[in-house]
Structure 1
Amino acid sequence: MKKIIGAIVVLIPIVFLAACGTSGGILGAGENELKLAHNQSLDHPVHKSLAEFGRLVEEKSDGEISVNIYANGQLGSEREAIELTQTGAVDLAKVSASALESFESDYSIFSVPYVFEDYQQFEEAMSNKEVTDRLYLQTEEIGFRALTYYNAGERNLYTKNREVKDVSDMNGLKVRVQPSQTSVGMIEAFGGVPTSMAYGEVYTALQAGVIDAAENNETALVNNNHGEVAKYYMYTEHQIVPDMLIMNSARFDRFSDEEQEIIMEAAEESTIYHEDVWEQTIKENTEIAKNEMNVQFVEVDKDSFIDSVQEMHKEFAESEKTGEIYDLLKGAIE
């Protein structure tokens, strides 16, 4: 009996994925219904922009193609969403560029601190077709391609009870980082102590003093209530890591040229739509954090932070894996 039960437990996820990957499977997808997975809440600006993408696809295709969105991580973590997209179990996924690092080294470029010194430089790079073609199509052989990106803001440092004015104030600071080796190296270069943990654990870790700080955009203060326990928000602006909308390569290729154009147009237009939604959300969240959570917003000596990571830039520029994308991106900015 134990052997039988064990076999059933092993088979359940296999059957689930197989069913997801077929038309009309347990996710209920028809031939022209696209399944899109992401891990944000329904009130997050990225979800709103993905909903706009779905609306545009349906409108432009006269209802022939629809997009069914699975939010809140219903289908798993970002890594699992990428893997499901690779296999075709889902058609599309919205994931952070940092989550794509372990699938394609080019995406690690976004985690290099101060590779963009401001948002204008980021926009210049992402409006360069040579840059986006390289990034979007580089992963086709491993099962997916990118359609567009969404602004996920500038990542800044926030602390429980320590004001940081320049990089010297980072010494010994325990900082939660994303599961990215580049982000770990960044905090070490700043003089802090990187601590990798799940995002959902950050609130209690700050509250209990397990970590002293975290880093993210302003939405974290309000949407995840981090402003209740973190009272200093520093404008370090150390990373600009976009969210990426990816699609299963084989599924994209099965559409006609006209249908592919519809999907690409809808993706690009949803990115433009997202800029306004994101800007308004950041303004609202900043005001709430200031006035209702008593978070102090602090300007820093950004040059001291930039100087501390120049060795990382040198390593990326000289690496066989990342040198080409680094030079391409820097060329687009210059």
Structure 2
Amino acid sequence: MSLKNKLLLSLCLLTLVGCSSENDKTVLRVGHTLDTKHAVHKSLLHMAAQLEHYSDGNLTLKLYPNGQLGSEREMVELLQIGSLAMTKVSAAALESFVADMKVFSLPYIFSSRDHRWQVLQSDIGEDILASLEQAHLRGLGYFDAGSRSFYTCDEMVNSPADVEGKKIRVMNSQTAVKMISAFGGAATPISWGELYAALQQGVVDGAENNPPSYYLSRHYEICPYYSLNEHTSVPDVVVSSKHVLDSLTMQQRQWLKQAMNDAVQLQKSLWLKAETEALAAVKAAGVEVIYPDKTPFFEAVVPFHQSFNNTLVGDYLERISVSKPKAGTSNE
């Protein structure tokens, strides 16, 4: 973040509190880094409307999109001190706060979208959300963030051999860094807002992300090769401040839970639509899109998975593996 933005954020903190009363209404302030066209923002708007409906206008959300309140990490830190009520954050960004979240950044842990949602909405997903308590956070639910794949500027990634030696932008996640190393690449953590310029200037050779992010960021203008190897499926997490949530009544927390469930259902459908539209748009813009054989990618990360044996993350991996649908069952 630039010095100017840090100063603006500091000024904001002088007046911002996560929860306030305005005209006998309780207002929860919610920040996120995405633009207002994104499925996440639309779903949070739906959540706000549903919450106002359930509470008869007594509990409302006020949204701050486009990174107005800082980066994902900075907003999580605001939650920890109660200066912000809620945010949407990638599970990868939470692993530096709670180790349990590392499991979501591991490659190829889900066999399908159905399997992913089965895990997220099971005791496994609930246990991982509950682990956020130790960081003075509360996990409210998961949003779909699709699967992350490689896009590059100069040549297509057909196999791990094509990643070797390439500088690939990743999120600020040590697990993501190690994953790229497993493929033979040089992982380079760069903030999302700085990535377009980094690609343009050749600081990195490519990046990895889901179709809507690749499209909305306009990274396809610089990186016209998109290889849908779908190495990770890192969910988004809607997180609240423990301080703020504890200040609400039991009834208010129930309203919030209902509104969150409604938002999750809408976001699922919006995400699928956004993925389809994004892929169609980048193809129309001249991007070469391929679906490579995933087997070499699977094989390249087996030692990486094994490195988590006899650890907390390894225990989660085992539980997720056991939950995979049996052969012959219907999957996407």
TM-score over 0.5 for the alignment? yes
Structure 2: distance between partners of 1:82 and 1:45: 21
- Give 3-state SS (helix, strand or coil) of 1:297's partner: strand
1:117-170 CA distances to partner (integer Å, 9 max, x unpaired)? 332221121121x11221222122331111011101110101112112222222
- Residue 304 of structure 1 corresponds to 296
Q: 2:16 aligns with which of 5, 8, 20?
A: 20
1:322 equivalent in alignment to 2:313 = yes
The structural deviation recorded for 1:19 is 3.6
Q: 1:294 aligns with which of 283, 286, 300?
A: 286
Structure 1: distance between partners of 2:77 and 2:231: 29
Structure 2: distance between partners of 1:16 and 1:287: 40
Superposed, 1:67-146 pairs within 5 Å as 67-128=61-122, 130-146=123-139
Structure 1: distance between partners of 2:72 and 2:24: 24
Superposed, 1:185-264 pairs within 5 Å as 185-264=178-257
| Structure 2 letter corresponding to 1:177 | V
1:59 equivalent in alignment to 2:53 = yes
| Structure 2 letter corresponding to 1:169 | D
Q: Is the 8 A contact 2:36 2:66 kept in 1?
A: yes
Q: Is the 8 A contact 1:187 1:194 kept in 2?
A: yes
Gaps of 5+ in 2: 1-5, 326-332
| Structure 2 letter corresponding to 1:304 | P
Structure 1: distance between partners of 2:23 and 2:143: 25
Structure 1: distance between partners of 2:33 and 2:23: 20
1:41 equivalent in alignment to 2:35 = yes
Q: Is the 8 A contact 2:81 2:243 kept in 1?
A: no
The structural deviation recorded for 1:105 is 0.4
- Give 3-state SS (helix, strand or coil) of 1:267's partner: helix
| Structure 1 letter corresponding to 2:272 | E
- The alpha-carbon distance between structure 1 residues 136 and 31, as it changes in their structure 2 partners (threshold 3 A), is farther
- Give 3-state SS (helix, strand or coil) of 2:307's partner: helix
Gaps of 5+ in 1: 1-9
- The alpha-carbon distance between structure 1 residues 276 and 69, as it changes in their structure 2 partners (threshold 3 A), is same
The structural deviation recorded for 1:71 is 0.7
Could you tell which deviates more after superposition, 97-106 or 190-199? 190-199
Q: Is the 8 A contact 1:21 1:87 kept in 2?
A: no
- Give 3-state SS (helix, strand or coil) of 1:139's partner: helix
- Give 3-state SS (helix, strand or coil) of 1:202's partner: helix
Q: Calculate percent identity across the aligned residue pairs.
A: 32
Which is higher, the Rg of structure 1 or of structure 2? 1
- Residue 332 of structure 1 corresponds to 323
- Residue 148 of structure 1 corresponds to 141
- Give 3-state SS (helix, strand or coil) of 2:309's partner: helix
| Structure 1 letter corresponding to 2:69 | L
Could you tell which deviates more after superposition, 30-39 or 276-285? 30-39
1:184-216 CA distances to partner (integer Å, 9 max, x unpaired)? 111111111211212222222222322211100
Q: Is the 8 A contact 2:18 2:84 kept in 1?
A: no
1:267-309 CA distances to partner (integer Å, 9 max, x unpaired)? 1111110111111111111111111x20011111201001111
Structure 2: distance between partners of 1:23 and 1:139: 20
- Give 3-state SS (helix, strand or coil) of 1:333's partner: coil
- The alpha-carbon distance between structure 1 residues 260 and 70, as it changes in their structure 2 partners (threshold 3 A), is same
- The alpha-carbon distance between structure 1 residues 72 and 30, as it changes in their structure 2 partners (threshold 3 A), is farther
- Residue 328 of structure 2 corresponds to none
